[in-house]
Structure 1
Amino acid sequence: MGLDMLQRQQYLYSCVHSVAEIQKDVEYRIPFTVNNSTISVNILLPQQFPQEKPVVSVYPPVGHHLVDSNNGTMISSPLITNFGMHSDLGKVIQSLLDEFWKSPPALMSSSSAGFPYGLYKPAGIPPYPAQAFHYSPHHVGPGQTPSPGPGPVPAPAPMSHTGVDMVHGPPRAAAPYGLITDLPLPVPTGESQAGLNGHMYKMPEIPETFPELPDMNLNQLSDMSENEDVLLEFFVRLPQFKQVTGDKEELIGSIVDMAKKNLQMEPQLEDKRQEMLNKYEQLTQMKTAFEMKMQRQHELSESCSLSTLQARLKVAAHQAEEESEDTAENFLEGGIEIDEFLTSFMEKRTVRERQRCLCGCKRAERLLLMHSDG
Structure 2
Amino acid sequence: MLPRQYYNEQDVRKRQIDTLKIFNDNVVELQENTEYKIDFSINGKNFCLNVILSPDFPNEKPVILVNPCISHPWVAENSNHVVSAPGLIQFTVHSDLGRVVHAIIREFQRSVAVSSDDDKSNQDKLLESSPQLLELDLETEELMLNIERIAQDNIAKQQSLDDLKTDVIDRISTIVQMKMNYEELHRRHQKLSESYDPHRIRESLKGAALKADEDAEAIAEQFLLGNVPVETFISKFAEKRALGQARRAREERLAHQLAQLDRATT
TM-score, normalised via structure 1 length:
0.32
Considering Cα pairs closer than 8 Å and 6+ residues apart, tell me whether 1 or 2 has the greater RCO.
2
| Larger Rg belongs to | 2
Bigger share in helix: 2
